Structure 1
Amino acid sequence: MKKQINILRFAILLSCVALVMTSCGEKKEDKEDSASKKPNIILFVADDHGIDALGCYGNPVIKTPNLDQLAAEGTRFTNAYCTSASCAASRSVILTGKFGHATGSYGHVHDYHHFSTYDTIKSLPVLLEKAGYATARIGKYHVAPESVYHFQTVLEADPRSTFEMAEKCADVLNSDKPFFLYFCTDDPHRGGPFRPVDWKTPNSFGNKADGYPGVKTVVYDPKDVLVPDFMPDTQQSREEIAQYYQSISRIDQGFGKLMAMLKETGKDKNTIVIYISDNGMAFPGAKTTVYEPGIKLPCIIKDPFESKKGSVNNAMISWVDMTPTILQMAGVDAGKNKFHGRSFEKIIGEENPKGWDEINASHTFHEITMYYPMRVVRKGDYKLIWNIAYPLEYPFASDLWDSSTWQAVYRNKAQFYGKRKIQDFLHHPQFELFDLKKDPNESVNLATDNKFLPVLNDMKTRLREFQKNTQDPWIIMWGDHDNSFQGTGVHL
């Protein structure tokens, strides 16, 4: 009898072990199957590419057939904004979903600037890696510390040669895991040296006389380029814009190469592709400012799971929305991470989604010598800029000061830069209120017009609420010196 009981127990034990093994196998298979169904994601970030220089955004001169094709197959956003028109500050927001004033990412990281994100922040690549993604980056990084912005794979290539960069991504595109590829060019940023021997010489924007391998050099005649309204229409401006266009055409060809490689892997039907820029074109009046040419940027998204193709989306979105959006696309639970932005994944296919009519911007530094904090709210057609350090002269980025475009104005003692008087260009009022529908060039300040006092007060309230919600230390600069985020200043 005892022997029969032992045999029965052994049989039950074997059944339990088999059940557990089967269960574990099913869980492992379910997990692997779930991972295989996750979309791949490519986030392609250009450097200083404004909305002014893309065929799909209405420029008939520049040649960008591959990016235009992306728009034809995806969604083109017409009101996409960075939060700070400065490379490092903007990239920190893209990868964290939080404004730089709340993460310590006030300005540049490299050389003597040393601005760095707090080590408590969880970034997009770290969260995706935790969820089973293979993460890789190539090209411009410009954020710190590495522990916060960690990628599993770092690829090396000439960041001016987008074609070469694409070729180096072959292994990532063939990854067995779902992948997140952060692809960042140096183009069309200005090229060194920033100060030419002859001030009239246009900057190269990374272009070389002998070109780049795999790239057909596309040269533009200065007389054919489109000079934006905020810039002076001078020979120097036109020559530099022509170089800027050439750099962008190089981006386009590298992007085309990357898309061709993706299609060869057969993963194009399961890969979300996002094209954006960190800030506007590298000319005075755009980059480092919070005027529209500095912060209103291209955003093209091709989502193979979105039924509408070649659509236009007029929602106001911001780079602070990028991390929560990508996480939702990837089906990743962000856990306890709270973002300042929100996901726009659900409204990509809509033309005029409700509830997407307000954005904010926050700029504090570019270079460490360029202290000029500005906070922005745009609600509908109205936009308010608070120039917190308005008694100071507006500071210049070193490369923009040395540009032949600016030097032509400066040396000739011109009265205007574009539609702005030089005096107004260098000295900003405390508040600037614009009606962008009637005044897209932001040339008529309504902040001193009593008829718009109710609008001004409403926008100020919205701006202050934004600062409060995002724990902006500069909230202390309002008249009542609200120091609620400052603590006691006493360390016990």
Structure 2
Amino acid sequence: MSCSRYIKSANYQSFILMIALLSLVSCSAVPAQVNSTDKVLKPNFVWIISEDNSPQYLRLYNPEFGAVMPNVEQMAKQGITYDNAYSNAPVCSTARSTLALGVYPAQAGTMHHRAFVKAKYKSGLKSIYQLMKDAGYYVTNNAKTDFNFSNFDSIDFSASSPSASWKNRKNNQAFFHIKTLNTTHESKLMFPASDMVNKPTQHDPSKVKLALFHPDTELFRYMHARYLDLHQKLDEQIGEILTELEEAGELENTFVFYFGDHGGVLPGSKSFANESGIKIPLVVRIPENYQHLVTNSTVKNSRSDDFVSFVDMAPTLLHLSGLRKSNLHSGQAFLGRDLAAKNKYVFAYADRFGERYDLVRTLRVGDLKYVRNYLPMNPLGLEQNYRYKNVAYQQWRNLYKSGQLNGIQSAFFQPKDTEALYDLSNDPEELHNLAKEPQYQKDLRNLRQQLQQQVKSIADLGFVSEAHLERYEYLDSLQLGNDLHTKINKMIEAADLMLLPFDQARSQLMKNITIGSENEQYWSLVALSYFAEQANELTPQIKLLLKQPNTSDLVKARAIEFMTRTGQMDPVSALTSLIENSQQQLEALEIMNIAASLHDTLGYEFDISARPEWSSLPIKSAVDYTTKSYQNGSVKARIEYLKTPWSSDLVKLKNKNINKNPVQDPIDVIPSNSQVEVSL
């Protein structure tokens, strides 16, 4: 009976851990089982994907405070640990779409979580799973899919189910197996507060290291400790997968990648484009029989500080398989021989999650990270129903409402800076914005320009309203970006007016408001809301825009937001009317998001009556059943939340914000115009 190098069932109390380590040492001289007569000609690949976890929860990355994970650590001794690996996106469906396609979602139309408008492709774009299958691999998925595109003919797995296994392949057929482990998924932390008493943790809550932006409470400490416990359960599962490969004689024929699908999962991480939301653990175990595909020199037990992100995963597998990457791929191979130059930057993004809309783009170059918040009025902590099922999220917000947080902890619930610059070598939690520091102005300008070039070069579809994208559902999403390239660039330029001093932006804002396209008007109004009282002189033009019969409802909603944030209007009746009379559910949801921002920052409450079609569903067998169900749930959650009171302090701020001469009869002035055909 062979002695496995991996621990199948890890008990992390001190005595058992010592036994496991001694066992590991005793087995170290035993070679892995490799049946040379059955050796495949191409290497196998296994992706072990854990859900929602950041590197700091692993001792491999955080020796003092991370969880002991001997199986992952053993993998690292037999391969490479990547210290700067990123998921590009901070939530599962967007990140998994990036993995599958190897293309930035904002370019491929897959940027919104559980997309209400699924992307389609006629341009020859295929998933890495299909490309590997076409090359003769047996490709199995166990079992999560969660993609934001609908033409699944680009993903023809050999098998995809909770029982899918690489073992059912033909003799000598190389395999590519994807295994998702949900042990660390955020749902595992949605427990009642009573668990603090009833379910003690193995890790001592008093000894965990909390993020500085978290309140230091017993609940947050307990949740952190419980999450470390989950990582040790995760390690057991990883050990079982490795042992299975070893016992079948395939371990030394197989590149094993372990990584998180994105960061997480304590509050303020998953779904946000900060380091705790997008940075992931990544360990690649190098098989003995295919060491020659990597380098002449040993790579075992090494660490790499190269930038690696999900757009690089597909090109890497193709490179190691001796195949060429697609010319549609955004990334490049990071492992193997004869590699191109190393990645110089990491591009990341955050868009809609459930009913909460945002638009954030980030660029890391060296130790500097640039963050562009295109909707700065929306706090990071803007209500999203699923997130706030977590009792720690609820506690954090309640502490904010009651004024018990410091400035760093409160920032999560306040409007964001339009742009930020962080030195991650000194500030890994991104707490100190250097954008206004004189010594960083050159860096700020350079990174700002690089990000502007990035979003323009990919024709970033995140700038196009999701309600508008619905009209293009049956076209090729990559081609859509190409067709709208010039118009998207104009949207970006309008949005970037908020980066200028108002005196410099005034004339272009005036032009966009009066004669610009709908999208230029929309993004200029977002900029004007950011400028707030500085832009009061443009109020007559905005009032005129509200009265024009051909002004779209989305533009009207942004105009109402400006009038509200400058203290000239109570938005409740006007926005309620737009929402209730909207003929398009996604448009109504986007306007509700504006209402939610006013709710969470100024204390306004909205009592909205849902339209009957917002709860209707197709038959369960219909292709769009799940998508429509998720959309309906998002709308319902937003409507219910908008009825709830915020806090007395915000209500006082709201009342103070309204001046003595608000716009009169806003419903009459601002009729719904959802029937107007809008051209991009």
TM range (shorter): 0.7 to 0.9
| Rounded Cα–Cα distance in structure 1 between residues aligned with 2:213 and 2:46 | 33
1:70 matches 2:75: yes
| Rounded Cα–Cα distance in structure 1 between residues aligned with 2:434 and 2:131 | 44
Question: Does structure 2 retain, via aligned residues, the 8 Å contact 1:128–1:332?
Answer: no
Structure 2 CA distance for partners of 1:249 and 1:172, relative to 1, 3 Å: farther
Structure 2 CA distance for partners of 1:118 and 1:459, relative to 1, 3 Å: same
SS in 2 for 1:137: strand
> What is the CA distance between 1:334 and its match in structure 2?
3.6
Q: Which amino acid in structure 2 is aligned with residue 36 of structure 1?
A: V
Q: How does 1:20-419 map to 2 (within 5 A)?
A: 36-60=40-64, 62-109=67-114, 114-120=116-122, 121-143=125-147, 144-145=149-150, 146-156=152-162, 169=165, 171-172=167-168, 176-191=172-187, 194=190, 200-201=193-194, 219-304=202-287, 305=291, 306=294, 307-334=298-325, 337-346=327-336, 355-367=342-354, 369-394=355-380, 395-413=382-400, 415=403
Question: Does structure 2 retain, via aligned residues, the 8 Å contact 1:75–1:313?
Answer: yes
> What is the CA distance between 1:127 and its match in structure 2?
0.5
Structure 2 CA distance for partners of 1:220 and 1:424, relative to 1, 3 Å: closer
| Rounded Cα–Cα distance in structure 2 between residues aligned with 1:72 and 1:329 | 20
Q: Where does the alignment leave 5 or more consecutive residues of structure 1 unmatched?
A: 1-32, 158-167, 210-216
Question: Does structure 2 retain, via aligned residues, the 8 Å contact 1:77–1:312?
Answer: yes
SS in 1 for 2:394: helix
> What is the CA distance between 1:170 and its match in structure 2?
6.2
Structure 2 CA distance for partners of 1:347 and 1:444, relative to 1, 3 Å: farther
SS in 2 for 1:52: helix
1:478 matches 2:480: no
| Rounded Cα–Cα distance in structure 2 between residues aligned with 1:277 and 1:175 | 31
> What is the CA distance between 1:90 and its match in structure 2?
0.6
- Structure number with higher relative contact order (C-alpha < 8 Å, ≥ 6 residues apart): 1
Question: Does structure 1 retain, via aligned residues, the 8 Å contact 2:40–2:253?
Answer: no
Which of 428, 433, 438 aligns to 2:421? It is: 433
| Rounded Cα–Cα distance in structure 2 between residues aligned with 1:229 and 1:172 | 49
| Rounded Cα–Cα distance in structure 2 between residues aligned with 1:63 and 1:330 | 33
| Rounded Cα–Cα distance in structure 2 between residues aligned with 1:425 and 1:435 | 23
Q: Where does the alignment leave 5 or more consecutive residues of structure 2 unmatched?
A: 1-36, 464-488, 497-515, 520-677
Question: Does structure 1 retain, via aligned residues, the 8 Å contact 2:360–2:372?
Answer: yes
| Rounded Cα–Cα distance in structure 1 between residues aligned with 2:238 and 2:334 | 24
| Rounded Cα–Cα distance in structure 2 between residues aligned with 1:238 and 1:288 | 21
Q: Which amino acid in structure 1 is aligned with residue 174 of structure 2?
A: P
Question: Does structure 2 retain, via aligned residues, the 8 Å contact 1:63–1:249?
Answer: yes
| Rounded Cα–Cα distance in structure 2 between residues aligned with 1:415 and 1:477 | 38
| Rounded Cα–Cα distance in structure 2 between residues aligned with 1:126 and 1:265 | 25
Structure 2 CA distance for partners of 1:40 and 1:231, relative to 1, 3 Å: same
Question: Does structure 2 retain, via aligned residues, the 8 Å contact 1:436–1:442?
Answer: yes
| Rounded Cα–Cα distance in structure 2 between residues aligned with 1:171 and 1:262 | 10
| Rounded Cα–Cα distance in structure 2 between residues aligned with 1:467 and 1:218 | 45
| Rounded Cα–Cα distance in structure 1 between residues aligned with 2:252 and 2:121 | 36
Question: Does structure 2 retain, via aligned residues, the 8 Å contact 1:279–1:297?
Answer: yes
| Rounded Cα–Cα distance in structure 2 between residues aligned with 1:451 and 1:192 | 44
| Rounded Cα–Cα distance in structure 2 between residues aligned with 1:238 and 1:380 | 32
Structure 2 CA distance for partners of 1:83 and 1:135, relative to 1, 3 Å: same
| Rounded Cα–Cα distance in structure 2 between residues aligned with 1:331 and 1:203 | 52
Which of 424, 431, 441 aligns to 1:453? It is: 441
Q: Which amino acid in structure 1 is aligned with residue 421 of structure 2?
A: L
Deviations 1:314-360 (A, max 9, x none): 0111111111111111112345x421111112379x9xx97433111
1:463 matches 2:451: yes
> What is the CA distance between 1:108 and its match in structure 2?
2.6
Structure 2 CA distance for partners of 1:341 and 1:270, relative to 1, 3 Å: same
> What is the CA distance between 1:78 and its match in structure 2?
0.5
| Rounded Cα–Cα distance in structure 2 between residues aligned with 1:450 and 1:222 | 41
Q: Which amino acid in structure 2 is aligned with residue 127 of structure 1?
A: L
> What is the CA distance between 1:48 and its match in structure 2?
0.2
Q: What's the TM-score, normalizing by structure 1?
A: 0.78
Structure 2 CA distance for partners of 1:343 and 1:418, relative to 1, 3 Å: farther
Q: Which amino acid in structure 2 is aligned with residue 406 of structure 1?
A: Y
SS in 2 for 1:229: coil
Structure 2 CA distance for partners of 1:411 and 1:323, relative to 1, 3 Å: same
Matching residue of 1:28: none
Question: Does structure 2 retain, via aligned residues, the 8 Å contact 1:231–1:417?
Answer: no
Q: Percent identity?
A: 23
> What is the CA distance between 1:218 and its match in structure 2?
8.2
Structure 2 CA distance for partners of 1:470 and 1:417, relative to 1, 3 Å: farther
Structure 2 CA distance for partners of 1:149 and 1:187, relative to 1, 3 Å: farther
| Rounded Cα–Cα distance in structure 2 between residues aligned with 1:248 and 1:363 | 26
Q: What's the TM-score, normalizing by structure 2?
A: 0.58
Where is the helix percentage greater, Structure 1 or Structure 2? 2
> What is the CA distance between 1:102 and its match in structure 2?
1.4
| Rounded Cα–Cα distance in structure 2 between residues aligned with 1:227 and 1:243 | 13
| Rounded Cα–Cα distance in structure 1 between residues aligned with 2:189 and 2:266 | 16
Question: Does structure 1 retain, via aligned residues, the 8 Å contact 2:435–2:441?
Answer: yes
> What is the CA distance between 1:228 and its match in structure 2?
3.0
SS in 1 for 2:60: helix
| Rounded Cα–Cα distance in structure 1 between residues aligned with 2:421 and 2:103 | 25
> What is the CA distance between 1:65 and its match in structure 2?
0.9
Cα RMSD (Å): 3.2
Q: Which amino acid in structure 1 is aligned with residue 311 of structure 2?
A: V
How many residues align? The count is: 425
Deviations 1:123-150 (A, max 9, x none): 0000001100000000322114332333
Deviations 1:350-402 (A, max 9, x none): 9xx974331111221222x1110111111112111101111223334433323
SS in 2 for 1:420: helix
